[in-house]
Chain A
């Protein structure tokens, strides 16, 4: 058992180092530690299911150990930027002030065609339009256009824009959402009053939506045959 325990720690640390050194392009959506946890957990969980000779404890203990390690690492990462950059890496500036850094590109083992592909995926057809491109720790490319190519915003036009708050869904499938009710500033009695005024019961409402400007949308439940 202790051999399994120590092996789990060694493999975990080794995988973090391996993913970290393999570059950001391997990571994708997840952080290195999250990716490793996902990989290892699925493998660990499947072994005792497939092989009845393996005791359950051989999966349960390493899984619990990995989850604890993940929680501890994420906590330490949150409080120590140095540790975070050691585990997850730092964002890499591939294009800075409109200038492509070939050194950074090769350091990230990205070829030009891959960079152009990532730019196209961001809706940019010409690299000359890019002011700044950052390869994030997660492996995603964040792109910022040059000011003259950036989309027009109300701020740039000097126009005052109205806030577009999300609508509050007060009733979903006959159930009142207390959190939405609290966020909307409405009370339960006000909601009941509104429904009574329209001659409908809470349980008969499929959707009650309240927009930021006070507009109400009620969709009653369809009668089941």
Chain B
């Protein structure tokens, strides 16, 4: 009986922590998407430092909850975005900004609970 109760408690704790971590990941993704969308559509006045700060804050949590390939993809896009801003490469900036938003959207969708993602 004792083992059964312990197993049940662990199962409840596990389920709760998974639900919580999923909710946190999705809400962090939403914040990062908002931050990325706040970047100007063209290179004039573009600054990724605010996004960078938020990303550095959230990254350790993402490393636990999502595939490291996803976090690496965001890192890569962010590096490219910063490089494009520095070099003043307008086309590259527009492309990298869109890529960053779409990577975050994909991450959010992969973490959200949906029937088609399960099957």
Contacts and interface: CB of A to CB of B under 8 A. Distances in A.
Contact of A3 (B4, B14, B113): B113
B113 A57 contact: no
A3 B69 contact: no
Nearest to A75: B4
Given A53-B69, A55-B67, 13 more contacts: A1-B22, A5-B14, A5-B18, A6-B113, A52-B68, A55-B63, A55-B66, A57-B64, A61-B14, A68-B8, A68-B14, A71-B3, A72-B4
B74 to A, nearest CB: 13
B10 interface: yes
Interface residues of B, number: 28
Nearest to A2: B22
Contacts of A54: 67-68
Interface string B42-58: 00000000000000000
A57 B21 CA distance: 11
B73 to A, nearest CB: 11
B11 interface: yes
Interface string B1-25: 1011011101100110011011001
Given A53-B69, A54-B68, A65 B14 contact: yes
Interface of B: 1, 3-4, 6-8, 10-11, 14-15, 18-19, 21-22, 25, 63-69, 72, 110-111, 113, 117-118
Interface string A50-63: 00111111100100
A66 to B, nearest CB: 11
Contact of B68 (A3, A53, A75): A53
B1 to A, nearest CB: 8
B21 to A, nearest CB: 5
Interface string A21-46: 00000000000000000000000000
Given A6-B118, A61-B18, A68-B10, A55 B3 contact: no
B19 to A, nearest CB: 7
Contacts of A58: 67
A72 B65 contact: no
A214 to B, nearest CB: 40
B113 to A, nearest CB: 5
A54 B63 CA distance: 9
Q: Which of A1, A7, A52, A54 has the most CB of B within 10 A?
A: A1
A1 B68 CA distance: 13
Contacts of B15: 5
